[in-house]
Chain A
Amino acid sequence: MASSSSYNSPCAACKFLRRKCMPGCIFAPYFPPEEPQKFANVHKIFGASNVTKILNELLPHQREDAVNSLAYEAEARVRDPVYGCVGAISFLQRQVQRLQKELDSANADLLRFAYNDSSLPPLPPLVVPASFHHHHHHQQLTPQRQLQFGSRFGNGGNIDGSGFYSFPYAIPWNDTSSDDLSGGVGGRGGGVGGGNL
């Protein structure tokens, strides 16, 4: 009877691949038998041997997050074969730009009212000083190469009347990373944000 290193039944990967789940199976800790779809998606998009290679290049404590992010990407790609999770990036970038414009406009209104309502002389061209942006990061998060795709960015989400995208995929782990937005999650600093793509 096949056994995995952690369970009495083969892990989802070995079940899918119809092979004996040996002790020390690299997939077993991350693909429990009760989540067959997770491995099925990852296998379809990345392939078992590519996943093995990726996991073998990482330290053991990094593997769970790696598998979960691969599963996330694979599911996104299965739902949207053309754009995968890149469609969500494109959408989120546009939302960030939109909100940033709204915030700049609101700050400008506030400043304008403040000056108009005081006894100070009027300002010539309206300039929002950097110090007015309290708590605002001026880091350029978006990658230097903007995503240029067709207007269709994906069909996996719902856009309600206000235009806010209810992203269908919850981040599958507790995100305890810092707020370093230029480096992505995990503090490795190797995320796409600000990188040279």
Chain B
Amino acid sequence: MMTSSYSNSPCAACKFLRRKCNQDCIFAPYFPPEEPKKFANVHKVFGASNVSKLLNEVLPHQREDTVNSLAYEAEARIKDPVYGCVGFISGLQRQLLGLQKELDATNADLIQFTIQGSSSLGLGHVDYSNGFYNYPSNFEQ
């Protein structure tokens, strides 16, 4: 009977590869049999032997994150074969630039406001009790 190191059934990798799942199977902790798509995607994009090499290059406590990031990249590449997750990076960088510009503009408005009062925001003429805010007549004196 096939066994994996963690369950009584072969891991998703060994099931996919149709091989015996040994107790020291490097894939077994990270590709449980109930998530067959995860290994299928990773195999399609990276290949089993490349994944195995990558896992052997990192420390055991890093392997779970390694597999999860590979799975994420593989899924992104399958959904978008041209750009994969790099398209998402590009979008995020543009979004950050846009937000930064908007923040700079808002901060500039705030500074204007504190210097000149609410009339600088185009809120219309507001009658203040003291003359200080009667822009522009007071400003020109």
Contacts and interface: CB of A to CB of B under 8 A. Distances in A.
A171 interface: yes
Contact of B102 (A49, A57, A84, A103): A103
A149 B82 contact: no
Nearest to B53: A44
Contact of A65 (B79, B82, B113): B82
A186 B86 CA distance: 11
Nearest to B100: A99
Interface string B46-59: 11011000100110
B57 A81 contact: yes
Nearest to A61: B82
B90 interface: yes
Interface stretch (A10-18, A21-29, A30-38, A106-114): A106-114
Nearest to B57: A81
Interface of B: 44-47, 49-50, 54, 57-58, 62, 65-66, 68-70, 72-73, 75-77, 79-96, 98-100, 102-103, 106-107, 109-110, 113-114, 117-118, 121, 123, 126-127
Interface residues of A, number: 69
Interface of A: 44-47, 49-50, 54, 57-58, 62, 65-66, 69-70, 72-73, 77, 81-89, 92-93, 95-96, 99-100, 102-103, 106-107, 109-110, 113-114, 117-119, 135-137, 141, 143, 147, 149-150, 167, 171, 175, 177, 179, 181-186, 188, 190-193, 195, 197
